[in-house]
Structure 1
Amino acid sequence: MTISLQTTLTTPTDGGSVLDTISDWAVSMMETIGAPGAGLAIALENLFPPLPSEVILPLAGFTASRGSFTLFEAIFWTTVGSVVGALILYLLGAWLGRDRMRAIVSRVPLVDLEDVDRVEAWFDRHGYKAVFFGRMIPLFRSLVSIPAGIERMSIWIFIGLTTAGSLIWNSIFVLAGFYLGENWHVVEAYADVFQKIVIAAVVVFLVYFVVSRILKIRRRRAERDPA
């Protein structure tokens, strides 16, 4: 089964691409330990965002369609993996704590504690929605677990929201891989566009943040030292 499945996984991206490498690694995990391998791969994806769930999840669905495990097992274990990965980052945030986080931020250039206060206030108002919908946004789904831990969101509410959001996201991609079969990689192409949009939005925000902070610092200096 391993040889035939990896042969079937040959895609238009052949030639030693990153996608091929991740595909081979994920398939090896799934065929070695079954559906829990898909869960382990997704847990690692949460901890290392460069590992794309948009590749791993359709692969889990495709592998299920080949009979290595059932569709239910694919969705169940990938959702378990999502929750475990998110929980590790939540615990990291809880360990970091508010005071330690503020001490670290105070040493970061261009960042004021006022910014931290605004983020905390925003998270107090929208934290539940951020955790739930954040599970469906590339990059953000990993990062949102840390402030949830820092702010000590109820761990049971955090697990519940993470499970619900992950179940929706994982089911969409696993089902797509299951029904697309050998064309599973089509999903990755569309998901890649979405991820690029998210990354572009983050870059634009960071540029805006840096420029606005530089202008703010210059205004403060001008007020202290009028010409």
Structure 2
Amino acid sequence: MHRHHKNVVTAGKALSEASKAMIMIHGRGGSAAGILEIAESLEVADFALLAPQANQHTWYPYSFMAPVANNQPGLDTGLAVIGEILDDILAAGISRENIYLLGFSQGACLTSEFLARNAGHFGGAFIYSGGVIGAEVDRSNYSGDFEGTPILLGCSDVDAHVPLHRVQDTTSIFAEMGAEVTERIYPNGPHTILADEIELTNRILTRSQS
């Protein structure tokens, strides 16, 4: 099985010099460079930013609402990539509570699924237009305790790719697992990252600095 892991685009500070880190996961058809551009609007001056590039710009072939088996092996590979990057950050001496995760669209779904399977005390997570993966929610895959990790879920109520009920289910799962969840549903909103989501993200990012 090939790994995308070797293809990680970085920005911000070097891991050896950073006090915090953010893993940024692009969407279907997107790129690592593209998701990193969002950081220009974020309060991440002291961060190492790490964005893996998916092979052929997609993490898995079908909708995140398809049966999990249909999206293998891409799904497992993508989850493993996030895990490897997380391990690299921890190995560099940055603690989990100073690590943040951000994803948009397919990247938000992959990030949601990774978090649900690997809950812990992170600095925060930002889920833009996404939710946990599968035709049905399988809570038996999920374990851990977020211990108050702030998680933002933002999505349109009419998103063509992301059903509202799956966003709400993801909010419930994260809350049950100990996260401090902010859910924002934007009426008739587009499938994009909105200025309001950036503002809410920055509130979480600057929380520990105030």
The TM-score normalised by the length of structure 2 is 0.33
Higher relative contact order (CA 8 A, sep 6+): 1
Normalized per residue, the structure richer in helix is 1
Normalized per residue, the structure richer in strand is 2
The TM-score normalised by the length of structure 1 is 0.31
